[in-house]
Chains A and B, each alone.
Chain A
C-alpha cells in the first residue's frame, strides 16, 4: 500500500515537471539588450563549414565569423557553445544559450523560434560514392539512404510537409537511416552500410572537397531551403539587435566578404528579394494554436511506442545471450589452463574498462576498417546485439565468479565423495547455490541494461530514446524525453517486480 502511494506521487511529480517544462512561456525573456555583455551562440560542433572544430582545435566557421562580427559591433563578448543537436531546444529554453546559429533551417520550424531574416539559401542534395554507378535520383531505387537525425534532408524526404515528389522518391529507397552526425554518415557510406547521403549543399561541397574525389554530388536537388538565426520564441529584442547589425554588415560589404571567405557567396541571401523575413515569420508564429496537454502526450507516447519494441528486443536478446555466455566466460576465467584464464581476464578488463558506446562502434565499424568487409544494413542490428552481449557477458561472468566462490568447499567435497563427476557437481550443487548468491547483483545489472539500451543510438539503431530525442527536436519540446523517462521507469518497475518474484522463489532454503 505504502509503496503504491510513493509510486503515485513520483509519477505525479514527473507529470508536473512535464507540464512546467512544456508550457512555452516567454515572460522570462530579458527585454533590454542595453546591459548585455555576452552572446552565447549554440552550434553543432561538427557542422562544416558553418560551425565546427578545425585542426587546431578551434571552433570556426561561416556562422561563427558572422556572430563574431556582430558581437564586436555591439560590444558583446561571443561565447561559442557547442551543443548536442538533439538538446538544442532545452538549451535555448533554459537560457543556457541565447540563439542557435548554425546553418539552422527555418523551413518547417517557422513557428517554433523567433527568427532573423533568412541569410543562407540552401538546397538538399544527394552524395554518393563516385564509383557507385548512381547518377540520378531514380538510381536510388532499392538503395540504403542515410540522413542526419532531425536534419532538413530528413524533413524534406519524410517530414510532415514533404513534397509528393519527395515522398514518392523516399518510397523507392530500400531504407532511410538516420545517424547522429555527418562524420558517421560518411563512415557508413565508406563502409558500404549506406549507398547515399542526403544533406545540405554547402556541407556537401565542403565534405567532398575535404575527403577527395571518392564522393560526388548528384546534379538534381531534393529541395531548397533557408537558414536563419533562431532565438527563443518571443525574444524579439535580441533578435532585432542582431538583425540590425547583420544589415549593417550587408551595407558595408563585410557580409559578402565573410561569405566569400567560406566559399558561400552563391548561397548568401540576406536582404535578397523573395527570401523569408523576420516579419513574415513572426506573423506565422503569432497565428499558431497550442495543442492540449493530453493530446500532445498521447501523440508523443504513440510515436515513442514503436521505439519501445526496439528497446525491448535489444533488452531481451542481450539477456538471452549474455546470461549463458557469462557462464562460459566465468568458466574460462577460472580455467586451470593459464593462457585461457589470462586471455579471458584481459577480455573482461577491456569490456569493463572502456565505454560500451565505444565497444558498439568497434563491433559495427571494425569489420570494415580492419578487414575491409563491406557492411550490410542488417548488420547494424546484429552489431547492437553482439556489442551489448559481449559487454554484459563480461559483467555477468564476474558476478558468477563471486557467486561460485561463495559456495563453501565442503559442498564440492561432499559431492566428490558421493562420486559426482565435475559436470554433475557444477550443475547439481554449485550452479543452484550460485544463482541464489548472484540474484541481487544480477538484478542491478539487468536494470542498468534497461537504461543502457539507449546507447544503441550510436549505431543509428532507432530505439526508444533515439526516437524521443528526434521527436523532442522536431517538436521543439522536452516532453518526449520525460515520456521516455516514464517508459524506462515503468519498464524497470516490471523488471524489478519479476526479479523480486524470482528471489522470493529462491528463498525456500537458506
Chain B
C-alpha cells in the first residue's frame, strides 16, 4: 500500500505554472529525497502535499484515503472532518523550525497530541520524554526555543512532529539554516529514523546525505520531475543533462 499518492498535480501562482503534472507514490518505510535547483518547485510540492497550499489540478491520497479529488481541471477537497483525520497521517518539519516561542520544549511537543488528538496527558508526556531522549535533549525539557541552538531547535521540531505518531514525515530543507556541525546532528537523527523504517520525503541540498539515506532520489527542475531512481542511478549515473549540470554545480 502507498502511504502517499500524488497524481498529475498542477499548481500555478499568478498564472505562472510552478508545478506541471507531478505524480509521486511513496510506499511504507520508503525514504525519498527530492533535489533540484532553487525555484524548481520542491517546497511548493511539499506544501501542496501537506495541504498548506491549494492544488489546482490532480489528486492526493494518503493510505488510499482521498484528500483531494481531480474533477477535470479542478479539485475537490474532502470534507473538513475527513481532512482532519487525514492530517494525522503526516507531519512536516520546516526549514526554520517554526517552534512556538512562548511554549517550553515539553509543551511544544505535548500540546498538539493532547489538545488535537485528545490523548491522555501522562501517556503523551512519557512519549515526549522518550522522544527527547532519542534526540539527546532530555535536559532541555523546560527550556524555551530561544535558549536552544539551531540544531537543537530542529530536533525539537522533529520530536514535535513525531509525537503525533504520523505514518510519514516531510522535511523541507531541514538543515539549510544550520552550520555544518549542527547539520550533522540533525542528519544523524534522520538516519536513525530511516533505520527505524520511518516513511520520509526529504527536500535537501545535501547530496551526499541523500545518496546515503535514500531508497529513491527525485530530481526536479522547472516544476517537473526530470529523473527518478535509486541513488546510484540518479546521483552516480545521471542520464539527463540537466541533472548532470546540477550535480556538477553541487560539486559531487
Binding site for B on A (CB under 8 A): 408, 410-411, 413-414, 416-420, 424, 428-429, 432-433, 436, 508-510
Which of B50, B92, B112, B145 is the one whose CB lies under 8 Å from A509? Answer: B145
Chain A residues with CB under 8 A of B144: 508-510
Minimal beta-carbon separation of A412 from chain B (angstroms) = 9
Chain A residues with CB under 8 A of B87: 417, 419
Q: How far is the CA of A305 from the CA of B187 in the complex (A)?
A: 69
Which of A411, A424, A432 is the one whose CB lies under 8 Å from B115? Answer: A424
Does B102 sit at the interface, judged by CB under 8 A?
A: yes
**Bitwise interface map of B from 77 to 99 toward A, beta carbon under 8 Å scored 1, else 0:** 00000001001101110101011
Does B252 sit at the interface, judged by CB under 8 A?
A: no
- Contact A509-B146, Cβ < 8 Å, known A419-B84, A424-B115: yes
Contact indicator A420/B116 (Cβ below 8 Å)? yes
Contact indicator A420/B112 (Cβ below 8 Å)? yes
- What is the chain B residue whose CB lies nearest that of A436? B102
Chain A residues with CB under 8 A of B52: 413, 416-417
Interface size class of B (residues with CB under 8 A): 20 to 34
**Bitwise interface map of B from 162 to 174 toward A, beta carbon under 8 Å scored 1, else 0:** 0010000000000
Contact indicator A433/B101 (Cβ below 8 Å)? yes
Chain B residues with CB under 8 A of A417: 50-52, 87, 90-92
Minimal beta-carbon separation of A416 from chain B (angstroms) = 6
Q: How far is the CA of A277 from the CA of B61 in the complex (A)?
A: 103
- What is the chain B residue whose CB lies nearest that of A410? B98
Q: How far is the CA of A43 from the CA of B102 in the complex (A)?
A: 61
Contact indicator A410/B111 (Cβ below 8 Å)? no
- What is the chain B residue whose CB lies nearest that of A429? B100
- What is the chain A residue whose CB lies nearest that of B85? A419
Contact indicator A418/B101 (Cβ below 8 Å)? no
Q: How far is the CA of A27 from the CA of B75 in the complex (A)?
A: 91
Contact indicator B115/A428 (Cβ below 8 Å)? yes
Does B117 sit at the interface, judged by CB under 8 A?
A: yes
Q: How far is the CA of A372 from the CA of B102 in the complex (A)?
A: 52
Main secondary structure of the interface of B (DSSP, over half): loop
**Bitwise interface map of B from 148 to 177 toward A, beta carbon under 8 Å scored 1, else 0:** 000000000000100010000000000000
- Contact A433-B102, Cβ < 8 Å, known A419-B116, A424-B116: yes
Contact indicator B92/A510 (Cβ below 8 Å)? no
Chain A residues with CB under 8 A of B84: 419
Binding site for A on B (CB under 8 A): 50-52, 84, 87-88, 90-92, 94, 96, 98-102, 111-112, 115-117, 144-146, 160, 164
Q: How far is the CA of A420 from the CA of B88 in the complex (A)?
A: 11
Chain A residues with CB under 8 A of B92: 417
Q: How far is the CA of A190 from the CA of B86 in the complex (A)?
A: 67
Contact indicator B98/A414 (Cβ below 8 Å)? yes
Which of B51, B96, B102, B112 is the one whose CB lies under 8 Å from A418? Answer: B112
Minimal beta-carbon separation of A506 from chain B (angstroms) = 9
- Contact A419-B146, Cβ < 8 Å, known A413-B52, A414-B94: no
Which of B94, B101, B164 is the one whose CB lies under 8 Å from A419? Answer: B164
Minimal beta-carbon separation of B67 from chain A (angstroms) = 13
Contact indicator B98/A411 (Cβ below 8 Å)? yes
Chain B residues with CB under 8 A of A411: 98, 100
Contact indicator B116/A414 (Cβ below 8 Å)? no
Interface-central residue, A416, A417, A509, A510, by most chain B CB under 10 Å: A417
Chain B residues with CB under 8 A of A410: 94, 96, 98
Q: How far is the CA of A417 from the CA of B168 in the complex (A)?
A: 13
Q: How far is the CA of A436 from the CA of B144 in the complex (A)?
A: 15
Q: List 12 A-B contacts (CB under 8 A).
A: A410-B98, A411-B98, A414-B100, A417-B51, A419-B87, A419-B117, A420-B115, A428-B111, A428-B115, A433-B101, A433-B102, A509-B102
Chain A residues with CB under 8 A of B102: 432-433, 436, 509
Q: How far is the CA of A414 from the CA of B99 in the complex (A)?
A: 8
Minimal beta-carbon separation of B216 from chain A (angstroms) = 23
Minimal beta-carbon separation of B53 from chain A (angstroms) = 10
- What is the chain B residue whose CB lies nearest that of A433? B102
Q: How far is the CA of A424 from the CA of B116 in the complex (A)?
A: 9
Chain B residues with CB under 8 A of A436: 102
Q: How far is the CA of A411 from the CA of B145 in the complex (A)?
A: 13
- What is the chain A residue whose CB lies nearest that of B117? A419
Chain B residues with CB under 8 A of A428: 100, 111, 115
Chain A residues with CB under 8 A of B100: 411, 414, 428-429
Q: How far is the CA of A429 from the CA of B101 in the complex (A)?
A: 9
- What is the chain A residue whose CB lies nearest that of B111? A428
Minimal beta-carbon separation of B44 from chain A (angstroms) = 13
Q: How far is the CA of A411 from the CA of B115 in the complex (A)?
A: 17
Q: How far is the CA of A424 from the CA of B101 in the complex (A)?
A: 16
